[in-house]
Amino acid sequence: MMNQVAFILCLTTLIICSVSCLFSCAILICVIHHLCHNRLQQEDRIIFIHCINIYSLVLAYIGIIASFNIQTVLGNLYEYDLNSSWPWCIFAGYITPILIGCIYWAFVNQAFFRLCRVVYPSIRWLQSYQLYIILPFIELVFSCILMSLILFLHSVVYLPTDYYCFVPFTNVYSMLWLAFNGYGNQIGVLSFIYIRITIFLRRQTNTQTLIVRQRQERDFLIIRRILIIAGVLISLGIPAIVFLVTAFITHEEHPLTFPFFWFFISISMICICLSTIIFTPQLKKIVVKIIQHNRVIPLNSSLIGSIPTRQ
């Protein structure tokens, strides 16, 4: 029988994933509709492309997480074994770290766009709309190549206690490879961009116009917010680090390792959904407009009393 704590964690993760899926779908529909039916400035179009990229990746990622937890619950309750679907099982375990890596690359794309606006404003093709449509596909291919190592090493295996395929925490070196390529590279690039812009702004003379300086400071503030979001998401991965260290020392995997792991991952995904709205003024404006449009304003009782009625 399934551990009660593990069952609660899996059920909670499923609920969070369901909410995140619905939320991401709603935001995607709103953004795509706004992008297709409005004439926007190039900066706004690029920002909305970033949003579409983030929410599409989050939707795909939490969909796989939800399927993992469903398989765990069904397997433990009804002995429903999906090991027969071996090719799909291996593919799901392989594509999952690729998607989380691409989500972090999406934040790098946002920071890179701000870097180009501040440091390289004269290079127009670095601020082109088409570049930020192509870039996510290049990053996807790049991530697939890097993560293919776990396929060659046969690190993705079927987990009989969890009823899906993934890299076990006892395979420490493969897990470190996933962490390095899923988080490490992106955080390193984000830090480099932040330092580059900081140095550039400090070396700036006071000859810049007020409008240019305000725009640069706004872009710099957005990059700082991106770093804050990335820092929060990394902090939610601390439990996974604890389980990884424990597995390295004891050579055994705790039964609650993956339930806790996916639980914190699901929280990080809902954090991405909410923080993207909060820290993106253009997207926040759309959401607020929709909420205000759908809000029902009750009539004042005194106003109702003043309306003449037909006798």
Per-domain boundaries in the chain: 4-279
Q: How is domain 4-279 classified at the architecture level of CATH? A: Up-down Bundle (1.20)
What global pTM score does this model have?
0.86
Per the model's pLDDT, the better-predicted residue between 94 and 204 turns out to be 94
Mean pLDDT of 43-48: 89
CA distance 90 to 86: 6
Q: Residue 68 burial (CB < 10 Å; 0-12/13-18/19+)? A: buried
Mean pLDDT of 271-283: 87
Question: Does 298 have pLDDT greater than 70?
Answer: no
* Percent above pLDDT 90 for the chain: 30
Please give the mean pLDDT across all residues of the chain: 83
> What pLDDT band is residue 304 in, cutting at 50, 70 and 90?
very low
Residue-wise pLDDT tens digits, 259-268: 888 998 898 8
CA distance 270 to 178: 22
Residue-wise pLDDT tens digits, 97-107: 999 999 989 98
CA distance 17 to 66: 6
Cβ atoms of 46 and 113 within 8 Å: the answer is: yes
